[in-house]
Amino acid sequence: MASEFDEEVELEKLFEVLEHVVEKQTEKNKEKLRKILSKIDAHHKALAEDGEYTEMYVDIEYELAPLLNDAEFRSNEVGENALQDTEIFDLFYEFVAIHNENVEVVLASSPFISEELKWKLAESEFEWEEDGTREALARNQNDPMLLKHLAEVGNVNVRFQVALSRFTPVETLDELALETEQCNFQMEEVLFGELSEYRGFTRWVLTQNGNTSRATLEKIANGNLPPLIGPAQEKVIESAKARLREMV
């Protein structure tokens, strides 16, 4: 089966069908999409059984993101023409994300995914360079319960993104103030355009989040939390004091 399968042709067909789906989300078009995704998935599995590998879905995230989200891969916002049909996102999770986990990030970047898919993605531990599935969810979802969950199960990079969100519950922001680790330097550079001695700390982000409670800001300003390393401690204290002055 694998030897008779023309990968280049089938990939071209996939994007042709997907473009039709983007134009018109009819049941007929969605069924065509399911069939070709299933066919490619079967090809992957046949190769795996023979101990072979295909790069058919390598870097597909860069082509998928504009079609599904009307935005570039890893963009913080979807475009006005982003797809809103949850079935389509579910199909790409079922058939494509298993072969390229960057597709999880594409899906997690959409606010239009189904409730079920949202929570499935929340269990993913996939990360690559400055980003990952949970980080993308934290940036792009507005569900307070999901953000609370991500803060509980995620690593420092995920918690950092949760601390940035204006949808994160106040009590979760209060708990995040105990974080003393620094986020991935690549994430900090992408977010702020440069590296610093303090911006990569969750506690500094909390001083910038308008929903952080006065009580937590006072704890930071008074140095009543486990100290941060290096110059970050004083920089964060200064930032907390500045926020408190603004609140008077």
Distance CA 201, CA 210 (A): 17
pLDDT > 80? residue 80: yes
Residue whose C-alpha is closest to residue 25's, from 13, 17, 35, 36: 17
pLDDT class of 3 with cuts at 50, 70, 90? low
The pLDDT assigned to 248 comes to 76
The pLDDT assigned to 1 comes to 45
Distance CA 191, CA 182 (A): 14
Q: pLDDT of 104-125, one tens digit each?
A: 999 999 999 999 999 999 999 9
Q: What percent of the chain has pLDDT over 90?
A: 95
| pLDDT, average across residues 234-238 | 98
Distance CA 58, CA 75 (A): 19
Mean pLDDT of the chain: 95
The pLDDT assigned to 76 comes to 85
Q: pLDDT of 136-190, one tens digit each?
A: 999 999 999 999 999 999 999 999 999 999 999 999 999 999 999 999 999 999 9
Backbone angles phi, psi at 132, to 5 degrees: -165, 180
Q: pLDDT of 7-61, one tens digit each?
A: 999 999 999 999 999 999 999 999 999 999 999 999 999 999 999 999 999 999 9
| pLDDT, average across residues 212-238 | 97
pLDDT > 50? residue 81: yes
Distance CA 38, CA 123 (A): 24
Distance CA 189, CA 192 (A): 5
pLDDT > 90? residue 2: no
Residue whose C-alpha is closest to residue 169's, from 146, 144, 150: 144
pLDDT class of 129 with cuts at 50, 70, 90? confident
